[in-house]
Each structure stands twice: as C-alpha cells, then as structure tokens.
Amino acid sequence: MSVVLTTGKISALTAITKILPDHADALRRTLQGLTAANGGKISSLGTIHIVRWVIFDNDTRLLFATNFDGGVEDYMRDFAERAPDGIDAIWGHCEGYPGARDYPKLRDYILGSAIETTGYYCAYPNSTVADINKALDWKGKFDAFLDQIG
Amino acid sequence: MPAPSDASDLDRNDIQGMAMRPYRFPAAHYHLLGVSDPARARRWFGGAAGRCTTVAGLDASPSLGFNLALSWQGLSAIGTPESSLSSFPQEFQQGMAARADRLDDVGDSAPARWDPPFDKSVHALVVVSAMTPADRDAASQALLSDISDNGLTALAAIDAKLLPGPDGRPVPIEHFGYRDGITQPAIEGSGEPALPGAGIPDTDGWRALKAGEFVLGQPDETGVVPDLPAPASLSRNGSFVVLRKLHQHVFAFRDFLRRSATDEIDVALLAAKMMGRWPSGAPLALAAERDDPALAGDPMRNNQFTYSDDLRGLNCPVGAHVRRLNPRSGLTGPNGASVHRHRLLRQGLPYGSRLPPDATADDGAARGAIMLLVNADIARQFEFVQKVWINDGDFAGLGNDKDPMIGGNDGSGSFTIPRTGAPRRRLPNLPAFVSTRGGEYFFLPGIAALRSLADSLAVSLADTAS
C-alpha cells in the first residue's frame, strides 16, 4: 500500500477524484457545512488528526488529504459502516464513486484514487489522537488541582 | 432494505460444524496435507464431503469429528479456475506468512523460523477430533492410509489434546494454568444454548451474532449478505479458518511473575490481572480480589458481565488478555461501537506436555496451543483483532501497550494495572510469552461445495475429452 506514507505512528493519505459536472456547488456546501459542524462524525473515528478537502482545477477536481493513526483499512471500514451517509454526501459528487455501503469497492475507490505522498513532516509522530486528547485532559485536571491547592 | 437475518434460512446440514459451534472434543489431530495429483485429490475431497461433521451433526454429540479445509494454494493446486481464485479476498490469497508484518509475526515469530510444514506451502487441513486419543488415533490411521492413493501427501499431523488434571483426567486448562474456552460468541441458528455473556451485550441482556459473521452467504451484523467469492456454489455456506501454532514460553511467564511480584499472593494477582481471569476461570470483572471456583463453575454466571461498570479497569485492567479479545461494553470512545464486527469463534487444543510446577528452568520442550479461529472475513475479524486489539493499545487509550499474554512483546513493553486509592501499577520490560511457530489461512467449504469439487472434475475431464 505505497500510497500511504507513515512516520512514527501517523500516516498520510492523499487522494484526488473528479467532480461530476455541475456538482461542485453542492459539494462546496457540504464541505462548508462539515467544517461548521467541526467535522461531524469524523471525530467519532478517534484516529483522524487532520483532514482537508480542496476543490480545485476550476471546480472539476477534489483533493482529499488526511493524517491518521493506525492502519488505513482498520478504521476506514468501521467508519464506512457507522457514517456511510457522510461519506456519500462528499464523494457522491465525484465520478465513479461506488457508495460507502460496499466496503471493498469503497476501499478500492479511495485507495485507487490516492497519489503518492512525496514529502512528509509531523511535529509529534509518535503521539496518536488518543494520546493527545488524554494528555490535554490530564493537563486540564492538573491545572484544576493546582488552582484548588493554590 | 436488506432482508432481516432469518435463522431458518440456514442449512445446518450444509455447514461444517466447526464454522458455528465450539468443539469440545478433548483430542484432535491437525493433519496438514499437500496435493500431489489434482484430479485424484478433487475426487477425494468430493467423496470426503459426506464424512464431514456438520452443524446439525453436532446435535447428537458425536464421539468423532471430521473437518476439511483448503488454503488458497490448495485451491490453486487442485486446479480451481483463475476466475474463482482471484475472487477470494486478498489476504486469503496471500496466506498467513505473507501477512507477517501486519500480524506482528516478526523476530522469534517470523515465518522464517516457523516449524515444518509451515515453512512451505500447505494445501489442506483435515481436523480429526475425538472424545479419546485412542479413537482419534484409529481415525487418523484410517485417514492416512486412505489419502495416500488419492493424490494427497501427509506433510505433518499435529498431536493436540487437553492436558491432564491432578487425577490424570483431561481438563480444559491451557499451559499457563488457566481454564480456557469459557467465552465463545453465540451465533444465530447454531443450535448452541445461549448462555449469559455469549454474543453481544444488548438492551435486553445478550443477543446472538448474525450467522454471516461466520458463514459466507448469510446476512452479517450489518444486515447485508456480503459479496461471495465465485462461484457461489463453491463459497456459499463456507467459512474461513485461521490456524495459528502458538508456542508458549511457560517458564518465562512464571519467571516474570516471580521477578515482578512481592510474594506468592501477588504472583497470583498479577497473573490474573494480565489474564483477566483467575486460574479457575472466574473473571476479574466479577471476582476482583480472589479466585472463586464456585463462580467459575457456574455457566450461568461465569461470563455474565459487560465491563460497563468498570470502564477504568479497576477490577479487570482494560489491557488484560481476555478483555482485549472481547471488550464487550468496556471501551469508551469510538471503538466501542464496532466490537460486534471483530469477533472470532475459537477452536483448538494444547499440544506438548505441561511444564512441571517446580521446574527451575525452561526445558526447551515444544508446547503451546493450536488455535483455529473461525470468521467470515479474515481482514476485518482475525487480522483486526491481531493488529489492533492484541498488538496495539491505542484503541483503548493504552498507548503502545500490547496484550500482556499473547502480544508481540520484545522486552520493552509494559502492562498497566489501574488501582483504587493508589497510583496505577505498571509492569515494565514485558517479554513475549507466546511465539508464532506456524499458521495458515484455510477455507472451510460447505458440504455441497466440497461435493462439487468432484463434479467439476467430471466437467473438466469432459471438456478435455471433447
């Protein structure tokens, strides 16, 4: 799976798909809505650090770039089962999209449209989303403790 | 809208018993075979279909069991058409050795170190199960004399049976000294009694898993029948069996406990925390302080818990072996929602003799467990469990911790024991207590599919003749 580049425990995946004619505006609204909703169900995956979509090439193509923990397949499948509508709402605007309910076809579609990551840097390559959230939770509790004894 | 799963659709006479019901035979031979003459081998497989123990056949508690499965190399060796071979899932096509990095079969567990015959291609697995070793030996002898003229080569037979208890009678206790086999997934239509704690926690208690999690061509937990490998006449009512030969470093386990514990009572506590159950099988979830053999012996109680009242792992650590392999309702966060998609039916028996309790060093003997893990989707079930639940900790907020009993530890791992009223205890420098010594992915066909192997031989011969 050479389209996934890993440093430490974090991996990069970038995919480019063609937007269906006259679908760019609807796709744009979906992605803006997702941003406004703090990613919606993406946070429920618990393994996505950052994900970005870019509509480019005069509204004809969609770039999807993500940084995530663990194996791409281990979580993509669970996510596809839990939030197929969310995935459909995005790539349903793209050519050749098989739908999120047939996992093997979805996997082949996403990985098949992925391009090789050439350069990659991460400031915290060995910290997962779970590690970071846990550390922040502890820091918050420790601060509260210091406030109480101070 | 997918059709709801209806257990009455299930043809219990066409599904090999191993696919849906836990075997309780005390003895087995795992025969690993190679195909030397494709045409003869196909005819033999077709003829052996009628001897296979089915799901329905287990209703009568037979004294002998017979089951037959083929690896992808085996399907290829008997001349299965390319269009069929290429329709099987990628991981099955590749075989277990090629998936070593994903499975953490590295270092001492690497395929280059595997025992024969797993260092080469294995084409078929025949499991002969019996209530007594004598019956098993007789059945195996008959099998071996039968296959030699039928295009098959016996590569190895692994002798596996329950270990003797104090009175010499076989007991379901594995080499580390723990009662084994309490937890099995309840499966719709299997005919097994639905005991509390089997299956999946539900609002009304417990529910059985959909048959499609274990049998191809049935609706799975999503309510849908996944695409079948082609042709459906070959794959329907089949299943996948993952064979693992796992050597157990029993002395290293005892030695680690002695070095890590403060006294004998602490040895027992640490071991139970690592395992998630006491030696009797009593779960820490219900017996946090000390072993409770009466609880362990009661099948209505010994599995009746969900961890939902112990999310921090104060009774049973979140990283304990049995909790990792079946987290029930005990996972906070996103991973808790998909536990039902990563379940395995476990078959298998110990091999080798018990290390005496007073051993002062490793005796170098081969001992461990042959595990046969049954699932409908090797990548989603077995490989996910191996990679995420056993060999990582992130899914449960445990960082890099691996399964303390069977994880691929290398001396640098750790195990975390949460405690009440005291900081968590951490056991550092965990070595591996289990090493992989072999394994393969096998397809366990339905009875009609096995029969069709002989039919398709007739077809291909007719093609040749015309």
Q: What is the pLDDT of residue B6?
A: 47
* Bond from prior residue into B26 cis (ω within 30 degrees of 0): no
> Which of B88, B312, B335 best tests the A interface by mutation, with the highest count of A CBs <10 A?
B335
On whether any CB of chain A is under 8 Å from the CB of B222, the answer is: yes
Q: What is the pLDDT of residue A5?
A: 94
A78 contacts B338? CB cut-off 8 A = yes
Label the pairing between strands B425-430 and B413-417.
antiparallel
pLDDT digits (tens, 9 = 90+) for A104-114: 899 999 999 99
| Chain B residues within an 8 Å CB radius of A101 | 224
Shortest Cα–Cα distance, A25 to chain B (Å): 30
On whether any CB of chain B is under 8 Å from the CB of A125, the answer is: no
On whether any CB of chain B is under 8 Å from the CB of A98, the answer is: no
Would you state the structure tokens that stand for residue B336, as one six-digit string? 């808790």
Compute the distance between CA of residue B268 and CA of residue B178 in angstroms, rounded to an integer.
11
Q: Average pLDDT, stretch B193-215?
A: 92
Compute the distance between CA of residue B355 and CA of residue B358 in angstroms, rounded to an integer.
8
Q: What is the pLDDT of residue A44?
A: 81
Q: Minimal Cα distance from B377: which residue of A?
A: A104
On whether any CB of chain B is under 8 Å from the CB of A128, the answer is: yes
Q: How confident is the model at residue B337 (pLDDT cuts 50, 70, 90)?
A: confident
Residue B286 predicted with pLDDT over 90: yes
On whether any CB of chain B is under 8 Å from the CB of A119, the answer is: no
Q: B298-330 burial string, b = 16+ CB within 10 Å, else e? A: eeebbbbbbbeebeebbbbbbbbbbbbbbbbbb
Residue B171 predicted with pLDDT over 70: yes
Label the pairing between strands B163-164 and B170-171.
antiparallel
On whether any CB of chain B is under 8 Å from the CB of A92, the answer is: no
| Chain A residues within an 8 Å CB radius of B390 | none
Residue B426 predicted with pLDDT over 60: yes
Compute the distance between CA of residue B159 and CA of residue B143 in angstroms, rounded to an integer.
15
On whether any CB of chain A is under 8 Å from the CB of B337, the answer is: yes
B335 contacts A69? CB cut-off 8 A = no
B227 contacts A78? CB cut-off 8 A = no
Q: How confident is the model at residue B1 (pLDDT cuts 50, 70, 90)?
A: very low
Compute the distance between CA of residue A19 and CA of residue A23 in angstroms, rounded to an integer.
7
A71 contacts B387? CB cut-off 8 A = yes
pTM of this structure:
0.93
CB atoms within 10 A of CB B440: 27
**DSSP-derived secondary structure letter, A117:** -
Q: Which of B449, B442, B456, B466 shows the shortest CA–CA distance to B79?
A: B456
Q: What is the pLDDT of residue B460?
A: 53
Q: How confident is the model at residue B127 (pLDDT cuts 50, 70, 90)?
A: very high
On whether any CB of chain B is under 8 Å from the CB of A78, the answer is: yes
Half-sphere exposure of B98 (CA within 13 A, CB side): 10
Average per-residue pLDDT for chain B: 94
The strand pairing partners of B245, in sequence order, are B370, B438
B341 contacts A9? CB cut-off 8 A = no
Q: B21-45 burial string, b = 16+ CB within 10 Å, else e? A: bbbebbbbbbbbbbbebbebbbbbb
**DSSP-derived secondary structure letter, B97:** G
The single-letter code of the amino acid at B270 is L
On whether any CB of chain B is under 8 Å from the CB of A70, the answer is: yes
Chain B from 101 to 120: CB within 8 A of any A CB: 102
B384 contacts A46? CB cut-off 8 A = no
Q: What is the pLDDT of residue A79?
A: 84
A82 contacts B337? CB cut-off 8 A = yes
Would you state the structure tokens that stand for residue A24, as one six-digit string? 């760019």
Q: How confident is the model at residue A102 (pLDDT cuts 50, 70, 90)?
A: confident
Q: What is the pLDDT of residue B9?
A: 82
Compute the distance between CA of residue B266 and CA of residue A38 in angstroms, rounded to an integer.
48
Task: Let me know the angle formed at the C-alpha of B362 by B357 and B363, rounded to the nearest 5 degrees.
Answer: 90
Interface ipTM: 0.84
Compute the distance between CA of residue B210 and CA of residue B5 in angstroms, rounded to an integer.
7
Label the pairing between strands B345-351 and B27-35.
unpaired
> Which of B380, B381, B382, B424 best tests the A interface by mutation, with the highest count of A CBs <10 A?
B380
User: Are B64 and B138 within 8 A, CB to CB?
Assistant: no
The strand pairing partners of B309, in sequence order, are none
| Chain A residues within an 8 Å CB radius of B388 | 70-71, 74
Residue B458 predicted with pLDDT over 60: no
Q: What is the pLDDT of residue B444?
A: 98
On whether any CB of chain A is under 8 Å from the CB of B399, the answer is: yes
Which residues, other chains included, contact A144 with Cβ-Cβ below 8 Å and sequence gap of 6+?
none
Percent of all residues in chain B with a pLDDT value above 70, rounded to a whole number: 96
Which residues, other chains included, contact B273 with Cβ-Cβ below 8 Å and sequence gap of 6+?
B284, B316, B317, B320, B415, B417
Shortest Cα–Cα distance, B378 to chain A (Å): 12
On whether any CB of chain B is under 8 Å from the CB of A102, the answer is: yes
User: Are A13 and A1 within 8 A, CB to CB?
Assistant: no
Residue B343 predicted with pLDDT over 70: yes
Nearest to A81 among B338, B388, B395 (CB): B338
A134 contacts B397? CB cut-off 8 A = yes
On whether any CB of chain A is under 8 Å from the CB of B264, the answer is: no
B388 contacts A45? CB cut-off 8 A = no
Residue B238 predicted with pLDDT over 90: yes
Would you state the structure tokens that stand for residue B231, as one six-digit string? 């042709």
On whether any CB of chain A is under 8 Å from the CB of B311, the answer is: no
Q: How confident is the model at residue B8 (pLDDT cuts 50, 70, 90)?
A: low
> Which of A43, A72, A74, A82 best tests the B interface by mutation, with the highest count of B CBs <10 A?
A74
pLDDT digits (tens, 9 = 90+) for B10-62: 999 999 999 999 999 999 999 999 999 999 999 999 999 999 999 999 999 99
Q: What is the pLDDT of residue A72?
A: 84
| Chain A residues within an 8 Å CB radius of B334 | 44-47, 78
pLDDT digits (tens, 9 = 90+) for B392-424: 999 998 999 999 999 999 999 999 999 998 999
| Chain A residues within an 8 Å CB radius of B397 | 130, 134
| Chain A residues within an 8 Å CB radius of B333 | 46, 130
Shortest Cα–Cα distance, B5 to chain A (Å): 18
A81 contacts B222? CB cut-off 8 A = yes
Q: What is the pLDDT of residue B5?
A: 42
Q: How confident is the model at residue B204 (pLDDT cuts 50, 70, 90)?
A: confident
Q: What does residue A6 show for φ and ψ, rounded to 5 degrees?
A: -120, 135
B224 contacts A130? CB cut-off 8 A = no
Nearest to A74 among B222, B227, B388 (CB): B388
Q: Which helix (H) or strand (E) holds B462?
A: helix B447-465
Shortest Cα–Cα distance, B61 to chain A (Å): 38
Q: Which helix (H) or strand (E) holds B295?
A: helix B293-296
Nearest to A74 among B333, B384, B397 (CB): B384
